[in-house]
Structure 1
Amino acid sequence: MDRHTLDRQRRAARLAWITLGYTVLVILWGAVVRATGAGAGCGSHWPTCNGEIVPMAPSLNTIIEFGHRVTSGLALPLVLAMAVFVWRAFPRGAAVRTYAVLSVVFMIIEGAIGAGLVLLEYVALDARTARALWIAGHLINTFILLAWITLTAWGAGNRPLPRWLGSGARGASIAAALFGLIVLGASGAITALGDTLVLVGGLSPEEHALVETLVSLRILHPTLAFVVFGLVALAVWASRERPLATRIGKAVAGVFVFQLAFGALNVWLLAPLWMQVSHLLITDVIWIGFVCFAAQALGDRVVAREAAPVLA
């Protein structure tokens, strides 16, 4: 490989990691919007904010919501730039190109879901059951989006990308853990919605069916967390013959243990804003780390320049 091509690949990898970090920040700002009940800060208007392109006399909730819209809007051109850099740096058939395109597609879906939440008024203290389903779907798409960007960044660094065919028990255990992490994340998003409606909005379970359901399911998320931790540990054990993957997996498992304790503290302190945001940040770190682990555990010595089946 000539030096010019190598430099382009390094720039593509650098931009992909920047895109990943920026996307996480946008996600955290979205958590602030939900936790503060500021989702209706721009009313039911989209893409305008209360009928204005730029609000002239914004309230605090409007500033919070509008700030999230601006940062979210910048995420799309950033991921598009990442895809362009990757396509220029790697040849036709490179798996990393596929991941870059999927990143763009799911970023567009992410924006569409956000717009839908606003237009359908599933924001602020809305307590309709459909809102919980949209919130769960939003989180699932977010996780998949982060996976594609992570694999783009990982593969652009010419690291192994996942190959599922012939992976046997190792592949099955990793797939189960990935699925478990997605379900756990969705349940966490729904639990956080319940915290917002009860602790911020003061909604009573006796008066709102959704709130009653969320309160009754409160124990589900931490219980599920222990089950998923077991799946993660099993996946790491099944990949013990891959030294680097094992090191990554053990690091992820260690962060997971910390998250279990941090989550318990979050409940005990009645979910203050900074802990909710921190809890989500740790969740994203665990997910990104496990995706990297999966790529290393299921990959081989073939680098990103060659074609490989996408993670699905």
Structure 2
Amino acid sequence: MLTIARSAWLVLVYNLGVIAWGAYVRATGSGAGCGAHWPLCDGRIIPRSLGVATLIEYSHRITSGLALLSVLALLWWVRKSTPQGHPARLGALMTVVFMLTEAAVGAGLVLFELVADNASMARALFMAVHLTNTFVLIAWLALTAWWLSGGEAMTPAATPGRTAALFGLLGAVIVVGVSGAIAALGDTLFPSKTLAEALAADLSPTSHMLLRLRMLHPALAIGTAGLLAVAAPLMARRDGTPLAAQLARGVAALAMTQLLAGLINVLLLAPVWIQLLHLLLADTLWITLVLLGAVLLRRSARRVPAREVAVAHRV
């Protein structure tokens, strides 16, 4: 079981790399590198001409295809190695489902030509769906690895209040992520030469909608980071386990680090490297919050009276 668990974590790490490379495709404007063809590149299995944009997009398709094969192999291995009713079976199955929807959304971006310099709101909506699907995909993959590593199955219905609070936090992170994806698209399509020029574009009523929406992201990010920094430790304290406390501290620390990365991103006018770092931090924060949820909603979790928790902390 240890071997399959380690493999599941490696599949998760590999998929994070594929996600980052997909962001690089967008940030460099290489999404049209294979033309309006999918899954073929320029209508061929191997494109005849490998320019820079084509090479970037083609390599992303290859790594994405390998990502699909990796989760299919993981599903087969999980079904072979675990008994009926093991939670990892559901996790691996849902991972494959959302990997297929991820591919479908990516294909839609290409086939509808919502790539390169396309600045339509349709592209922004597709990116919002893409980001949400990506988060759900890596959540299921992280849970699969967690359950294979000995994590308990979850029983959300047993603690409805805690479940609602967790889903509220997860929803807030998704909203921030979507606003960040839209802001990054604006940065890519309408680059500014100075910070003053970028701020003026954000505030101008004549600017493109993507630029005017860009202002929402920092406001949402600050509010959500503050919420996570307060709510996650409080929920972990009520759970009363060292693991929950450790994960909650990770959530709070990552939320604050994200704010710092976002500030650097703004000050440096969104260079590609900081955009990729910002995305990877967002994915890491999301995974940590998902794992915190898995601990708080585990089958053996119980409601702990506030007085009991206070006494335990004094001791």
Tell me the TM-score normalized by structure 1.
0.88
- Is the CA contact (8 Å cut-off) linking 1:197 and 1:211 kept in structure 2? no
CA–CA distance in 2 between the matches of 1:87 and 1:246?
32
- Is the CA contact (8 Å cut-off) linking 1:41 and 1:65 kept in structure 2? yes
1:219 corresponds to which of 215, 220, 242: 215
Counterpart for residue 233 of structure 2: 236
1:106-157 superposed Cα distances (whole Å, 9 cap, x missing partner): 0011011111100000000101111100000000000000000000000001
CA–CA distance in 2 between the matches of 1:38 and 1:59?
10
- Alignment identity in percent? 46
Counterpart for residue 116 of structure 1: 108
Counterpart for residue 310 of structure 1: none
Amino acid aligned to 1:65 = E
Shift of the 284–215 alpha-carbon distance from structure 1 to 2, 3 Å rule, reads same
Counterpart for residue 81 of structure 1: 73
2:50 corresponds to which of 58, 62, 77: 58
| 1:37 corresponds to 2:29 | yes
1:247-282 superposed Cα distances (whole Å, 9 cap, x missing partner): 111112101101101101101100001001111011
Structure 1 position 53, deviation (Å) = 1.1
- Is the CA contact (8 Å cut-off) linking 1:13 and 1:157 kept in structure 2? yes
Unaligned runs of 5+ in 2: 193-197, 302-315
Counterpart for residue 288 of structure 2: 289
SS at match of 1:199: coil
Structure 1 position 190, deviation (Å) = 0.8
CA–CA distance in 1 between the matches of 2:129 and 2:168?
19
1:267-303 superposed Cα distances (whole Å, 9 cap, x missing partner): 110000100111101111101111111111111449x
- Is the CA contact (8 Å cut-off) linking 2:182 and 2:214 kept in structure 1? no
Unaligned runs of 5+ in 1: 1-8, 303-312
Amino acid aligned to 1:254 = A
Shift of the 103–112 alpha-carbon distance from structure 1 to 2, 3 Å rule, reads same
Instruction: Tell which deviates more after alignment, 104-113 or 228-237.
Output: 228-237
1:218-268 superposed Cα distances (whole Å, 9 cap, x missing partner): 221111112212332313312212331121111121011011011011011
CA–CA distance in 2 between the matches of 1:57 and 1:172?
52
| 1:141 corresponds to 2:138 | no
CA–CA distance in 2 between the matches of 1:137 and 1:173?
23
Counterpart for residue 246 of structure 1: 245
Structure 1 position 65, deviation (Å) = 0.4
Counterpart for residue 172 of structure 1: 164
Cα RMSD after superposing both structures: 2.1
2:173 corresponds to which of 163, 170, 181: 181
Q: Structure 1 stretches (4+) deviating beyond 6 angstroms?
A: none
SS at match of 2:208: helix
CA–CA distance in 2 between the matches of 1:48 and 1:135?
22
- Is the CA contact (8 Å cut-off) linking 1:229 and 1:256 kept in structure 2? yes
SS at match of 1:39: coil
SS at match of 1:239: helix
Counterpart for residue 266 of structure 1: 265
- Is the CA contact (8 Å cut-off) linking 1:26 and 1:68 kept in structure 2? yes
Structure 1 position 175, deviation (Å) = 1.3
- Is the CA contact (8 Å cut-off) linking 2:2 and 2:149 kept in structure 1? yes
Instruction: Tell which deviates more after alignment, 270-279 or 171-180.
Output: 171-180
Amino acid aligned to 1:255 = L
Amino acid aligned to 2:285 = I
| 1:23 corresponds to 2:15 | yes
Counterpart for residue 5 of structure 1: none
Counterpart for residue 279 of structure 1: 278
Shift of the 86–210 alpha-carbon distance from structure 1 to 2, 3 Å rule, reads farther
Amino acid aligned to 1:282 = L
Counterpart for residue 96 of structure 2: 104
CA–CA distance in 2 between the matches of 1:179 and 1:18?
26
Structure 1 position 210, deviation (Å) = 11
- Is the CA contact (8 Å cut-off) linking 1:103 and 1:148 kept in structure 2? yes
- Is the CA contact (8 Å cut-off) linking 2:232 and 2:252 kept in structure 1? no
| 1:91 corresponds to 2:91 | no
Amino acid aligned to 1:234 = A
CA–CA distance in 2 between the matches of 1:211 and 1:71?
36
- Is the CA contact (8 Å cut-off) linking 1:96 and 1:152 kept in structure 2? yes
